[in-house]
Amino acid sequence: MLGIVISGSRGRMGKRIFEASKNFEEVAVKGLLERKGHPEIGIEIEGMKVTDNPEIIKEGDVLIEFTNPEATVEHIEYVLKYKKKVVIGTTALNQEQVKKIEEASKEIPIVFSPNMSVGVNFLFEIVKIASNVLKDYDKEIIEIHHNKKKDAPSGTAMKIAEIIKNECGGNLVFGRKGLVGERKKEEIGVLAVRSGDVVGEHIVLFAGNNERIEIIHRAHSRDAFASGAIRSAIWLKDKKSGLYSMKDVLGL
């Protein structure tokens, strides 16, 4: 039985991961971690108390981390301390924080991905192919999320932009305003929309003079991400130190 500790356990993703874990016979939740000051600290969820003490990380085999960049970096120290494994879905990390994850992966196994959905990670592969074939087309990325999402653009949109830039070169342009002039060929446009309760939608446009290709992924439920996170934790079970992505988990 694989023991998991859920960090950000009472957030939108944390709750879905907790529920999704019940669909995996080989997984058992061993701890529910939340930030200090969270109103649900101390309440009991199916026999487990929600805690703000990161020492709970030692109770599981794998930490599943969906919080904020600062908390993620702090919790990695506990994963290192107790020689555990970690799945990280936190987004909006800066270069210094990412470097800390990379350094930690020399000692422990880490799956680090901006999106745990199987469909989105397949989309990454499609975008890579399209970028190679359609190098001369205009490239634009539109992402839509619920009005409570704190970071923009989404980690997934930034990953898509990174793929396109690696394959085609170019410069990222975040939204447009005012008299910006004619679109430059090297631009990779990224637009973030926040509206309603949209779980997540990503549209990638490759537009030529006479045609346009749209690659679209729509998440209907956070369960798509939750199941992917648990699959990642199971996949890590026998892995040694290293930095992995959902591409590795899915064998893409």
Catalytic-labelled residue, pool 38, 128, 149, 165: 149
* H/E segment holding residue 158: helix 155-168
Does the active-site annotation cover 202? no
Q: How far apart are CA 130 and CA 106, in angstroms?
A: 33
pLDDT recorded at residue 106: 99
pLDDT recorded at residue 40: 98
* H/E segment holding residue 225: helix 223-236
Query: Residue 219: how many CA atoms within 13 Å on its side-chain side?
Result: 27
What does the buried/exposed string (b/e) look like for 190-221 if buried means 16 or more CB atoms within 10 Å of the residue's CB?
bbbeeeeebbbbbbbbbeeeeeeeebebebee
pLDDT along the chain (252 residues), means of 10: 98 98 98 98 98 99 98 99 98 97 99 96 98 98 98 96 98 97 98 98 98 98 97 97 97 93
Q: What is the CATH number of domain 2-116+222-250?
A: 3.40.50.720
pLDDT recorded at residue 142: 99
pLDDT recorded at residue 232: 98
pLDDT recorded at residue 8: 98
Does the active-site annotation cover 145? yes
Query: Residue 37: how many CA atoms within 13 Å on its side-chain side?
Result: 0
Catalytic-labelled residue, pool 145, 159, 202, 217: 145
Q: Single out the residue of 179, 161, 178, 160 nearest to residue 170, CA to CA.
A: 161
Q: Is 46 left (phi over 0), alpha (psi -120 to 50) or beta?
A: left
* Predicted structure pTM score: 0.91
pLDDT recorded at residue 96: 98
pLDDT recorded at residue 183: 97
pLDDT recorded at residue 162: 98
CA angle 82, 85, 89 (to 5 degrees): 125
Tokens of residue 120, six digits: 């989105």
Residue ranges of the domains in the chain?
Answer: 2-116+222-250, 118-219
pLDDT recorded at residue 164: 99
Under CATH, which architecture does the 118-219 domain have?
2-Layer Sandwich (3.30)
